[in-house]
Structure 1
C-alpha cells in the first residue's frame, strides 16, 4: 500500500499492551468458527495449534484507540482491507506484546481511511505477526490519498473451486470469537440505522471462510502451509448468502508490465507476499458480485 501524498508520520495509538494466548480461548475459537475442525470427524484440523485468525483478537483494542481521535461513528466504520503476516507460528500459553501504530490517514477511493499496523512480539522482542488493517471512517476529504498496490492478475486454470453458504448464526459466533462487537454484525436495527439492509457478516469472517477452504481443500488441513494473506473487502456478505470461491496460482510478480509500473518483483514481495513458496490468488463472489478483491495467500506450498 502506498501513500500518494506525504501524510503525518506514524504514531502510536496506545501504550503497548499484552496479548495472551490462552489455550481455553483457542479451543473456544475453534468451536465457534467453521473450518476450524474437520467436517467429517469433528477433530481439530492438522498443522497448527493456534489458528492464524486467533491473532486477530489483538485488533479490537487497537481499533478502538485508533478511532477515538477521529470522531467516527463506530457503527459507520467499515473494514476496507486486511493483511496478516506470520513471521512464526506462536504456541499456546505464549504472552505476546502488541504495538499499535497509525501508519497513515487519507482518502481511499471515495472514503476517508485509517491504516493501522499492529505488530505482535514475543518475550525476546522477536516479531511473531503483523496485522495491517485499513478502516474506512467516512467520506473522502481530498487531503492525501492512500493507494492499494495494483490488482493481481490471475492466470491459468483454477486450482480449486467451491461454494460455502454463510450460516445464519455466523455473525454472532464470529463476534464472540474475535471480540469485534460492532453492532452492525449482531443487531438488525443498528445495521439498518447504518444504512445496511440488515445484519452483515464481518469482513474478516468472510476471509476466514476463504482461508479455511484453502487450508482444508488444498493443504490437507495444514494451515502452516501459508504465511500471509491479504485482501480488500469489496461489499458486505449477509447470513444465508452462498459465496463462490476460486483459487489460482498467481504469477503477477513475474509480469513485465507490473514491474515497469513501479512494483518490481522485490517490491511486490515486500508489499504483498511473504518470501518463499507460491502466491495463490483467490476470488470470492455472491451472485456474481465480488465480495473480496485483490486476495492472495503467499509463502504457500501447494
Structure 2
C-alpha cells in the first residue's frame, strides 16, 4: 500500500526547518541521504521523494544537490498555494513546474496544492477545477490539500502560528469538508477528478477523524493519499499502536508516507523544525517504518 516515502516536509520553509541552525542546508542534505539509503535498504521498490519544497525554488534545489542531497531520492516534490500564500497566480502552475524541470532530470510530483474557502467557498470551487485543468496529465502525482478543515482548537503544525501574520487563519479553511463534517460545494468538483488527483491529509496522534476520512475517500473514489508519520510522535505512549491502526485503516489506498518532525529532545533547537543532533536516528526511524509497513518482498525464481 505504501508506494512512496517522502523525506521531510517543506524543508525550505522556516515553519518546518530552522535555517538559523542549518543556513546552507548541508545538515538537511546529509539527513536526506541517510534516510533515503535506509528506505532503499528496507525496500528498494518504495519510491523516495524529497520533501515538497515551498516556495518552489530551483536555486534551493541546486544547493541541496551540491551537498549530495539528491543522491538517494527518486522524485522531487513541490507545493503551491497560489490563491492563499504564494506570490504568483494559479495560472502559473505550468511555469513553476518548468522552473524545476530545468534543473533536474528527476520526475516532479505536486504533493500539496490547495485553495482555501475562507473568503468565499466559490473560490475553492474555482481552485479545484482550475488546478485539475492545469496539473492532471502534467505531472505523475497530484495531492489536493486537504480533505478536512483543520479544527480551530488544534492549531496548525507550523512554527510561528499567529506571528505569521493575517494569513495564519487560512490554515483552518483548506479542506473540502467543514469542521462540523458537512461537505463544501467543492467536494462534488473534486469527486469528478478523484481518481486522478489524490488527497493530502495529515492525521494527528490518535486522530478521531481517521475512520471518517477512509469512508469519505472510498466514497469519492480517491486512489492516492499522502499522509505522514511523525518522528516526534514515535516517542509518545503507545505510538506504535497508533501507527499500526493508521496504516491498517489506509491499506486500500496507494500511500505516500511522509516522515518529519524532530522530537524536541533530539534536536539542537528543541523544536520540531530543528535539525537532529544525530541524523542517523531519523534515518533509522524511516527504515523502521518502511520495514514494518512496506516490507520488501523476496522474489524466488520459479522453474518449471
Same fold per TM (> 0.5)? no
Output the TM-score relative to the length of structure 2: 0.26
* Greater relative contact order, per chain length (Cα 8 Å cut-off, separation 6+): 2
- Greater share of strand residues, 1 or 2? 1
Output the TM-score relative to the length of structure 1: 0.26
- Greater share of helix residues, 1 or 2? 2
